[in-house]
Amino acid sequence: MATKKKTAQAAGPATLRRKRAVSAAGVKPKKKTVKARATVTTAAKSRPKAVATPAIISKTKAKRKSKGTQTAARPTPPPRRGGKAARPAATGAATRRRTPAMRTARVAVKRVPARLAPVEVPQWGWAPPALAGKVKASVVRAAKKPLLASRQRRRVAATAVSPAASAVATVSTSTRRTPVMTAARKRALSKRAQLIAAFARRAKSLKLTRASQAESLPPAERRATAASDRRSTPRPAPGRRAVDRQKARRTERARRQSAKARPGSAPVVVAPPVRVKRAKPAAVAAPPPAPKRKGVYLDYGPTLPERYHDDRMFAMVRDPEWVYVYWELSDGKLPALIRRYGRQAVRRGSWRLLGRDGGSQRFATGLVAGETGSWYCKVGAQMTVQFSLVLRLPDGRAIEVLRSNTVRTPRLWPSERTDAAWYVSEEQFVGRYISDYEPPYTSGQGRSFPGFTIPVPSGLPGSDRVATQPAGQPAMVFPEFYLPENLPSSGTSGRSGAGQLFRRRNLTAGGRAGR
Amino acid sequence: MTTGYVMPVLHAHLPFIHHPEHPDFLEEDWLFEALTETYIPLLRMGEKLRRAGRTHALTMSLTPPLCEMLANPLLQKRYQAHLVKLHELADKEVARTAGGEARVHATARMYRRNFALALELWRGCRGNILRDFRRLQDANVLEIITCGATHGFLPYMFTPTAVYAQVEIACRNYAKHFGRRPRGIWLPECGYYPGLDAVLKQCGLRYFFLDTHGILLGEPRPRYGNYAPVACPTGVLAFARDAESSKQVWSAQEGYPGDFRYREFYRDLGYDAPYEYIKPYLHADGIRRNTGLKYHRITAANCGLGKKDWYDPPAAQAATEVHAANFMFNRQEQARHWHSELGIPPVIVCLYDVELFGHWWFEGPLFLEHFLTMVPTLQKEIETITPGEYLRRHQRHQIVTPSYSSWGDKGYGEVWLNGTNDWLYRHLHQAETRMQELARRFTRPGTVQRRALNQAARELLLAQASDWAFILTNKTAVPYAMKRTREHVHRFTRLYQQLKHGVIDRGFLADCEWKDCLFREIDYRVYR
């Protein structure tokens, strides 16, 4: 059990890094790529440098299968659409011999010079522009290795998972020299041409769709929409077969590792990799998805933009204790922060919502989403509050990025002030109007009349600080902010921010963190 | 000697629902049902009071969207067709029930008589009942006040300019329909925040209404609690709701409407009758819905719909008389108590949604009629009064800053700001900012530009209606509320972009004007 825990813990951060790498670059993790390269180099040394594009590789593989060259250890793939059905795999070392078909395929493999021409990677998909070079390099590196082990070939194919990427890479490299036009080469070319045509159609339709949607937007919003589209285009999910293969590989690796660690002992159960989701925006402006009903068409109207690309932070008083804040950053805000504090610092920094009352007290929430979001904050009655969106950098500095309007929460109990000309004592007032009156709102902290006693149940924030408030003076308790999960009524919870308990921050004036 | 005043205030509001693009639209029924069951019976009651020489009997807010719908020719035409059909159905029902259960037949005849009277009144005023309301106001029977332009919840507006626009447009619309500027306002959802009175003052309004805690938690302590109006720092007066009288009428359990003799709302002929029989009186989609003809009474507490007894109209009418007398007695007691306690004649402000009388509580208009008739004839202790008349008689008021409040659930803004509807405000606030930007930018617009600017203002106002957020919270007609909000924001945004880029799509503009055709008199410059 202890081993299991240890393995899971050890696997966690590494998995997280890999996941981040995948999500950032849209390619397989660096670690795996390196491993694949290391495996390949020995084989590549003895053979001339050549490029086998994934299309060609798969063609060759199909050919081999059709001639019965598959080894017994490899699973027999299902028949390809439009191709011949794979025969039962032959067994024995004889299958490793080169068949004429294989030789033909080898001929089709094109040599490329050591320096490659720049490869264009389409920018509409999942690859961010800054990391396009890495995609390109990995595609090309993988394509250089003609005789990879099948497992590695599959990985290469997965690396260039976008047909568009593989097609473009193929086109760019194949223009360097005219290959010998064999039948296999022709078939490969026709296959490639189909891929290119499919990609072109897809890209065109995407552009057209985007253009038609964005034509009514002003240029700045159009650019921003295009950028958000690029970011939000999902990476194609791996197929069922690929998932099965991944599972099988993982199990095999775990079995080997356990056998290696303790020869003769029982295999160690390896926990599946921990999936860590990145913090989502606390709220999006778009309304929640409409519930679907079978057979009934419900018109929910046109969709509204998720954001307006403005700097805005606005606080609204919901009731005497809760304030709702929403915010949004303009497009130029994050790049400006990155220019000033560095990309890594901004990326690794945490976004917090900071509230301050009229005096000097300042309190912060847990993590919130950065660019756009909303939050319900419990601030207490009769408070004048202003909120700031703060980026807390890894070195401890807190940068105030946005500031809200100032709001005042209403009182929960009658005023302590009375007018000389219209004098009414506290006892009179409470006895006449309050004792029989059932207030519509009851505080979570149980404030009551008369005498302005404020019994705070133990366990609630502020219980150690407030006992009885002297009459004639408003209570200046400023409870810390609550996470949305603690909201008292249903249906009012804030959207998901990062879900860890907040801690009070001693932030000094000017947004700098005090230590 | 008068020991106290009773100030009944009825709030009449419906969101603007006008769909000329559809020959038959379900949500338009909200207006038709309210007309048949509430507005027309109240008009008939007001007319009786006028003939009896009663004055200062009632205060009523008619919101601008409701006034615009009542004055809309298409909706007038559709309502007349609806009423004719109902009358036809009632005719059939009288024939069907003849010879059967006597109570059922009496109920059918009651419906036929009601529909006939409604049709007569409707034809008599040529479909424009606003004129009749105006006549009652001119005769001092009724005091009509205004409301926010589209019933937007004012505490959640982004800028004071948007609040001003809501109030000012409402005042201009009131002047269009009633021939003068309003003196008072029903704040949408009674939503008040400190500082709002300055905007009301700017628009020439003299008083408004609040929920009880709005004044009880005011600053400084109000000496007379909620039994006398207070003056805000700007001099605008605030009347606070009386909790006791509200509860007696509002509460379904303890209140009068829960009496077993009264009509049951949820059992309707639309569901009980054979489908082929009722189909011609349903909407085009053929789905069974309420027709307004109901034959059962509440019968007992927690009684299933299948076990309801027949409705007996004479018994229910007798109950309204008893309840009206009881209501008057309780107000007398209340006035006597507070008069002795405070030394001034207290004003008991009874705030109700007008749809309670007639729509939800079928006998409500009759109850009101009995009460308003009894008060001047059966006793001398209390009298009904309108705010204008009260201010004429009493000029000295304590200065108090009321507290942020509303009359919604829990007394503040949670009904209009929670997880189901908070996404709205980002869009509404952005639209507000953009509207102000347009108003400042276009100082001398051309004809088409002016039309587009005015239409943009209309779309913004319609999107701001508090009804959509309310419906999203209560989960009643969620798809429609979402559609309406999104559509108005979307149309506004398109108009904004077209104006900004100098290319106005006239077809689109005309389409918007055709559908959202309220506030013909609007002037976008109110947003400057």
Least confident of A56-70, B224-238, B506-520: A56-70
Question: Average pLDDT in the A122-136 region?
Answer: 37
Instruction: Report the distance separating Cα B404 and Cα B192, nearest Å.
Output: 5
Task: Please answer yes or no on whether A298 and B479 come within 8 Å at the CB atom.
Answer: yes
CB contact A274 to B (< 8 Å):
no
Least confident of A348-362, A423-437, B415-429, B469-483: A348-362
The length of chain A in residues reads 515
Q: How many CB atoms lie within 10 A of CB B32?
A: 17
Q: Which residues of A180-207 are buried (b: 16+ CB within 10 A; e: fewer)?
A: eeeebbeebbebbeebbeebeeeeeeee
CB contact A417 to B (< 8 Å):
yes
Least confident of A214-218, A328-332, B462-466: A214-218
Instruction: Report the distance separating Cα A98 and Cα A86, nearest Å.
Output: 18
Q: What is the pLDDT of residue B524?
A: 97
Residue A333: which residues within 8 A CB-CB, separation 6 or more?
A311, A401
Confidence bin at A198 (pLDDT 50/70/90): confident
Residue A442: which residues within 8 A CB-CB, separation 6 or more?
none
Q: What is the pLDDT of residue B269?
A: 95
Say yes or no to pLDDT of B267 above 90.
yes
Cβ–Cβ < 8 Å for A105, A59: yes
Task: Please answer yes or no on whether A328 and B158 come within 8 Å at the CB atom.
Answer: no
Least confident of A360-369, A467-476, B207-216, B347-356: A467-476
Confidence bin at A242 (pLDDT 50/70/90): confident
Instruction: Report the distance separating Cα A166 and Cα A140, nearest Å.
Output: 9
Instruction: Report the distance separating Cα A495 and Cα A280, nearest Å.
Output: 9
**How far, rounded to the nearest angstrom, does the alpha carbon of residue A82 sit from its chain's CA centroid?**
38
Q: Please give the full DSSP string across A173-221, using - where no structure is assigned.
A: HHTSSPPP--HHHHHHHHHHHHHHHHHHHHHHHHHHHHHHHHTTS-HHH
Q: What is the pLDDT of residue A193?
A: 77
Q: What is the pLDDT of residue B324?
A: 96
Question: Average pLDDT in the B374-390 region?
Answer: 95
Structure tokens belonging to residue B61: 């807010």
Q: What is the pLDDT of residue A257?
A: 63
CA distances from B275 to A296, B266, B281, B284, B296 (A): 21, 18, 10, 13, 19
CB contact A296 to B (< 8 Å):
no
Say yes or no to pLDDT of B293 above 90.
yes
| Residues above pLDDT 70, as percent of chain B | 100
Say yes or no to pLDDT of A515 above 80.
no
User: What are the backbone angles phi and psi of residue B241, rounded to the nearest 5°?
Assistant: -70, 145
Instruction: Report the distance separating Cα B3 and Cα B383, nearest Å.
Output: 9
Question: Average pLDDT in the B96-101 region?
Answer: 92
Q: HSE-up of B84 (CA within 13 Å, CB side)?
A: 7
Question: Average pLDDT in the A364-385 region?
Answer: 79
Task: Please answer yes or no on whether A437 and B220 come within 8 Å at the CB atom.
Answer: no
Of the candidates A314, A316, A433, the beta carbon closest to that of B216 is on A433
Say yes or no to pLDDT of B511 above 70.
yes
Helix (H) or strand (E) holding B237: strand B237-240
Q: What is the pLDDT of residue A397?
A: 85
Task: Please answer yes or no on whether B220 and A419 come within 8 Å at the CB atom.
Answer: yes
Question: Average pLDDT in the A338-361 region?
Answer: 83
Q: 192-231 in A: which are within 8 Å (CB) of B? A: 216-218
**Inter-helix orientation angle B478-501/B447-463, to 10°:** 150
Cβ–Cβ < 8 Å for A401, A390: yes
Q: What is the pLDDT of residue A147?
A: 40
Q: What is the mean pLDDT of chain B?
A: 95
Say yes or no to pLDDT of A474 above 60.
no
Structure tokens belonging to residue A208: 């057209």
Considering A303-312, A364-373, A483-492, the range whose residues carry the highest mean pLDDT is A303-312
Question: Average pLDDT in the B369-395 region?
Answer: 95
Instruction: Report the distance separating Cα A291 and Cα A298, nearest Å.
Output: 9
Least confident of A92-96, A478-482, B211-215, B425-429: A478-482
Task: Please answer yes or no on whether A438 and B156 come within 8 Å at the CB atom.
Answer: no
Least confident of A8-12, A226-230, B293-297, B382-386: A8-12
Rounded to a whole number, what is the distance in Å from the CA of A169 to chain B's nearest CA?
A: 41
> 3-class DSSP state for residue B184?
strand
Which position has the higher pLDDT, A123 or B179?
B179
Say yes or no to pLDDT of A452 above 80.
no
CB contact A374 to B (< 8 Å):
yes
Angle A196-A198-A200 from CA coordinates, rounded to 5°: 70
Q: What is the pLDDT of residue A251?
A: 74
Say yes or no to pLDDT of B138 above 50.
yes
Task: Please answer yes or no on whether A319 and B423 come within 8 Å at the CB atom.
Answer: no
User: What ipTM does this complex have?
Assistant: 0.94
Say yes or no to pLDDT of A210 above 80.
no
Q: What is the pLDDT of residue B251?
A: 80
Q: What is the pLDDT of residue A250?
A: 79
Cβ–Cβ < 8 Å for B56, B384: yes
User: What are the backbone angles phi and psi of residue A461, rounded to the nearest 5°?
Assistant: -60, 135
Question: Does residue A439 have a cis peptide bond before it, meaning omega lies within 30 degrees of 0?
Answer: no
Task: Please answer yes or no on whether B423 and A285 come within 8 Å at the CB atom.
Answer: yes
Which position has the higher pLDDT, B285 or A103?
B285
Say yes or no to pLDDT of B135 above 50.
yes
Residue B467: which residues within 8 A CB-CB, separation 6 or more?
B15, B151, B481
Question: Average pLDDT in the A223-234 region?
Answer: 50
Least confident of A197-211, B26-40, B131-145, B469-483: A197-211
Helix intervals (H) in B254-307: 269-272, 275-278
Number of H helices, E strands in chain A: 13, 7
Q: What is the mean pLDDT of chain A?
A: 55
Which residues from chain B sit within 8 angstroms of residue A296, using beta carbons?
none
> 3-class DSSP state for residue B5?
strand
The model's pTM = 0.69
Task: Please answer yes or no on whether B414 and A217 come within 8 Å at the CB atom.
Answer: no
Task: Please answer yes or no on whether B412 and A441 come within 8 Å at the CB atom.
Answer: yes
Say yes or no to pLDDT of A446 above 60.
no
- Condensed to tens digits (0 to 9), the pLDDT of residues B232-262 reads 999 999 999 999 998 888 887 788 999 999 9
Q: HSE-up of A191 (CA within 13 Å, CB side)?
A: 19
Q: What is the DSSP letter of B399?
A: B
Of the candidates A287, A308, A434, the beta carbon closest to that of B430 is on A308
Of the candidates B211, B225, B398, the beta carbon closest to that of A432 is on B225
Q: What is the pLDDT of residue B502?
A: 94
**How far, rounded to the nearest angstrom, does the alpha carbon of residue B95 sit from its chain's CA centroid?**
36
Q: What is the pLDDT of residue A440?
A: 82
Q: What is the pLDDT of residue A246?
A: 77
| Residues above pLDDT 90, as percent of chain A | 10
**Inter-helix orientation angle A30-45/A150-159, to 10°:** 130
CA distances from A514 to A504, A505, A507 (A): 12, 8, 5
Q: What is the pLDDT of residue A230?
A: 52
Q: What is the pLDDT of residue B333?
A: 95
Question: Average pLDDT in the B439-464 region?
Answer: 97
